[in-house]
Chain A
Amino acid sequence: MTSDRPRSASSPRPRRPTLFGLIRSGLPEPPPPTDDTLVRDLGLRVQERARQRLGRSLALRLVDAGSCNGCELELHALQNPFYDLERFGLRFVASPRHADVLLVTGAVTRNMREALERTYQAIPDPKWVVAVGDCPATGGLFSQSYACVGPASAVVPIDLTIPGCPPRPQDLLAGLLALLESNGKPGRR
């Protein structure tokens, strides 16, 4: 273990292992182009007032309502230095009470139905719900099960669906950026 003596102003900075120099610049990557139809789709739903109030900043809250964890892995990837979600004003928050957007993954299981409903209710208005992946969009392979409710729309109103199994990070980013764009324009002063 290294010494943790306090360092005086004159002593040279101890050499740290150079590992982190290995990350070359070029990260994060430029954002993917957003999909016009997504923007149009959302623009219809987002009220002018909400745009003014929230600006170009959205707090996201995820509920895994019965996912295989694949979609979570790709949501995690959005936060790595390649995609760096936060530079767009999008960030994940720990409490639904701080959130503007609910992301739902998984074919909603009966055992998670109540938790999903209660999380949705805990988010203050105005709020949006994004179904992430094929499972919450359609129920995926699980919709016929005794243990599943099926698509997330059976439990909460869905504003945007990002298909894929799981959606690639670029698709997630494009979808969320579309939400943000429709939220920030037009009419925002």
Chain B
Amino acid sequence: MAGETLAAGGYSLLALWGEPDCVHLSFWDAGSGAAAVMTLPCPEGRFPSIGRLHPPALRLERTIHDLFGLAAEESPDARPWLDHGVWETRFPLGKTSPSSGPTPYPFLPTEGEELHQVPVGPVHAGIIEPGHFRFTAAGETVVRLEERLGYVHRGVEGLLRGEDLEQAAALAARISGDTTAAYSSAFAQAVEAALDVEAPSLAHWLRALCVETERVANHLGDIGAICNDAAFARMHAFCSVLREKILRAADLCFGHRLMMDQIIPGGMRTVPPGEALRKLRELSEEITASLPGILQVYETTPSLQDRVVGTGVLSRALASQYASGGVIGRASGRLFDARCHLAYPPYSSLRFSVPVREEGDVDARISIRIREVEQSLDLIRQIIDGLPEGPASKPLPQERVAPGEGVALVEGFRGDLFAWVRLDERACVERCHFRDPSWFQWPLLEAVVYGNIIADFPLCNKSFNCSYSGHDL
């Protein structure tokens, strides 16, 4: 039923994940603005495939099979996804069985004259994360890209089982280093929901300060890096100076350049000194003042515009079908932002706009990033000016708590990331699941590259900037 409504576009798929004997499905109903979680027990080790009706669920179902051994019935794609056949056991989080060893991965067949294949990765040429891309090209034009991921699967969900909240928070902070603040915030909010406690108001505001600072730093890095892939290195140099300044300001505020381990269940580990906040505020003004220059250079450099306009177009229909969040969805006309659609604190008290474009090309994704940097810098100033009084954390119950579950959806720089946790009576993690925004963006990169030349792949790829570590977990 839910599968049909998802396929018809009535709901947006938020997450689909497993446990040893059941699967959970979470979706967002745009009509009512509500999110829900459904659970289906799988005593037979099987569940009806949702991917059969709604392709965005396919990789999630393959993952559920790899980790838990639960099979999606009638799935059109039952190939393994994260399991490359080199773990010691199969189904490591379910009923384990010895691994039968690696088998060749069956890439999708391609037929046609004069097609050639270009395999790339898992080790790439630059300083980036590992993954495999299999291009099929006719001359220079890509006729198919197939991704193979899972290389940085570290088994985070397995490690989280049974951990106390401090250790679990440290793991959550290391799922994806570029999104450490947003992951920590999502984990903290899910835990607080499970324990039915509310973090102090100051903590909400400081969390938002971290997440917005993280968004500015990453977007600046991406704007420069995309331009660099179009051979426009000066923008890269300039943006990397601004990014470095932001990281240094974050370091002054929180004692860590990426603000790792600062957001914890119950509140914040540190409260930034007033002087550091003043510096961050000043810097936000400095960067805001340089944005018109960035935009002007970007828009008036013909060699750059020539590469980005009309390149790597993602249709609105696909962005909506995949409920693709963040810059990628919003550059293709899908207006969703957890900060306004779920209005979790403190965003209900802050003023900001969410830029949307319809073109869906590399240009739209760059422009949206520039606008989002502007919005986030303004948010940083509003937050610093409006920081409430009071404590920044509250002690959490340590043991003999009522076991409970909690979910959270947090808008990180790539889009909405989903967290779910179930705590036991000692307030330790019994089970935990994270769904990175990239799950619903990676498959679209395959679609976007179709018909482009191989040489434009780096541009398309960088304009998506999907996470490997957050996806592979």
Q: B300 and A17: CB pair below 8 A?
A: yes
CB distance from B462 to the nearest CB of A (A): 13
Q: B293 and A69: CB pair below 8 A?
A: no
Q: B86 and A72: CB pair below 8 A?
A: no
List A140-187 residues whose CB lies under 8 Å from chain B.
Answer: 140-142, 144-148, 165-166, 168
B437 contacts chain A at the CB level, 8 A cutoff: no
- A111 CA to B152 CA, complexed, in Å: 7
- A136 CA to B370 CA, complexed, in Å: 35
B176 contacts chain A at the CB level, 8 A cutoff: yes
Please indicate which of the listed interface residues B87, B180, B221, B305 has the most CB atoms of chain A within 10 Å of its own CB.
B87
Task: Indicate which residue in A1, A20, A64, A115 contacts B302 across the interface (CB closer than 8 Å).
Answer: A1
B interface list, Cβ under 8 A from A: 82, 84, 86-89, 92, 122-123, 125-130, 150-156, 158-159, 167, 170-171, 174-178, 180, 221, 234, 237-238, 240-241, 243-244, 247, 257-258, 260, 290, 293-294, 296-297, 299-300, 302, 305, 467-469
Task: Indicate which residue in B122, B159, B257, B297 contacts A115 across the interface (CB closer than 8 Å).
Answer: B122
Known: A69-B176, A80-B241. A112 touches B152 (CB 8 A): yes
Q: B178 and A73: CB pair below 8 A?
A: yes
A46 contacts chain B at the CB level, 8 A cutoff: no
Task: Indicate which residue in B82, B89, B130, B238 contacts A112 across the interface (CB closer than 8 Å).
Answer: B130
Q: B238 and A109: CB pair below 8 A?
A: no
Q: A141 and B171: CB pair below 8 A?
A: yes
Residues of B within 8 A of A145 (CB): 154-156, 158-159
- A16 CA to B300 CA, complexed, in Å: 9
A interface list, Cβ under 8 A from B: 1-2, 4, 16-20, 22-23, 27, 62-77, 79-82, 92, 94-96, 106-107, 109-115, 119, 140-142, 144-148, 165-166, 168
Task: Indicate which residue in A17, A68, A79, A80 contacts B175 across the interface (CB closer than 8 Å).
Answer: A68
CB distance from B182 to the nearest CB of A (A): 13
CB distance from A180 to the nearest CB of B (A): 19
The number of residue pairs between A and B whose CB atoms lie closer than 8 Å in the complex comes to: 161
CB distance from B65 to the nearest CB of A (A): 16
Known: A106-B152, A115-B122, A165-B260. A71 touches B177 (CB 8 A): yes
Q: A81 and B293: CB pair below 8 A?
A: no
A-B contact pairs, 25 of them (CB 8 A): A19-B293, A20-B238, A62-B127, A63-B130, A67-B152, A68-B175, A70-B260, A72-B127, A73-B177, A73-B221, A76-B221, A80-B243, A81-B241, A82-B244, A96-B123, A109-B154, A111-B86, A111-B153, A114-B86, A119-B123, A141-B159, A146-B87, A146-B88, A147-B87, A147-B153
CB distance from A23 to the nearest CB of B (A): 6
- A76 CA to B158 CA, complexed, in Å: 30
Q: B130 and A166: CB pair below 8 A?
A: no
**Closest 6 A-B residue pairs measured CB to CB?**
A70-B177, A19-B293, A147-B155, A94-B125, A145-B155, A80-B240
- A145 CA to B153 CA, complexed, in Å: 10
Q: A66 and B244: CB pair below 8 A?
A: no
- A140 CA to B156 CA, complexed, in Å: 12
- A119 CA to B469 CA, complexed, in Å: 20
Residues of A within 8 A of B123 (CB): 63, 96, 115, 119
Residues of A within 8 A of B177 (CB): 67-73, 166
A76 (CB) vs chain B CBs: closest residue: B127
Residues of B within 8 A of A113 (CB): 86
